[in-house]
Amino acid sequence: MKRLIAPIRFLVTLGPLGYLPASGTIATVATMLGLWVLRGIISPAFFVIWILPIIALSIVLVQVVLPTFDHDDPPEIVIDEVVGFLFAMSFFPRTWVWLMSGFIVFRFFDIFKPLGIKRLERLGGAAAVVCDDVLAGFYTQIILLLGAVVFDLCCAYLKTV
């Protein structure tokens, strides 16, 4: 298992990205760009089917390397932002409008940690490292869905006037 520590650490930090300033934001941007590039290759159904196994695998990977870091939730570990943003965008089209909207909302929830996200983060351990970002992704989904409904209702109303 000790042989796997370095490659797993490389994976959970996205190589050098986890060591840059604003690493969570950079990892989310990288994920957003990846989703946009792969939009025609990987179907939305892929994420719906595979998101839970991806979340579980990320928890296991973080659990393996977490003791090698000095913090309970090291900023160098950015796989949680990747997984949280993938979860946030799993039901939405990979267009720039959706991706940018999702990015803004997700980063808000990930940075400010309202609505129980901070409490979840305080539990500690690998599950808390990942699941606080998954919860931020869940809240992002709700906000994006509500925004889409309001936008649709406003457009329908404007057509009637």
Half-sphere exposure of residue 62, counting CA atoms within 13 Å on the CB side? 28
pLDDT of 1: 67
Q: In whole angstroms, what is the distance from residue 17 CA to residue 38 CA?
A: 20
pLDDT digit string, tens, across residues 13-69: 999 999 999 999 999 999 999 999 998 888 878 878 898 999 999 999 999 999 999
Is residue 72 over pLDDT 90? Answer: no
Count how many domains the chain has.
1
Domain span at residue 91? 2-160
Q: Which residue in 29, 87, 32 sits closest to 54, CA to CA?
A: 87
Largest Cα separation within the chain, whole Å, is 67
What is the SS3 assignment for 92?
A: coil
pLDDT digit string, tens, across residues 83-136: 999 999 998 999 999 999 999 999 999 999 999 999 988 888 999 999 999 999
Q: Which residue in 71, 75, 65 sits closest to 11, CA to CA?
A: 65
Q: How many CB atoms lie within 10 A of CB 63?
A: 15
- On whether the CB atoms of residues 69 and 17 are closer than 8 A, the answer is no
Alpha helix ranges (H) inside 78-124: 79-88, 96-112, 117-121
Q: Which residues contact 43 (CB under 8 A, 6 or more apart)?
A: none
> Phi/psi zone of residue 43: left (φ > 0), alpha (ψ -120 to 50 degrees), beta?
beta
Q: In whole angstroms, what is the distance from residue 73 CA to residue 126 CA?
A: 8
Q: In whole angstroms, what is the distance from residue 106 CA to residue 89 CA?
A: 10
Q: In whole angstroms, what is the distance from residue 30 CA to residue 45 CA?
A: 21
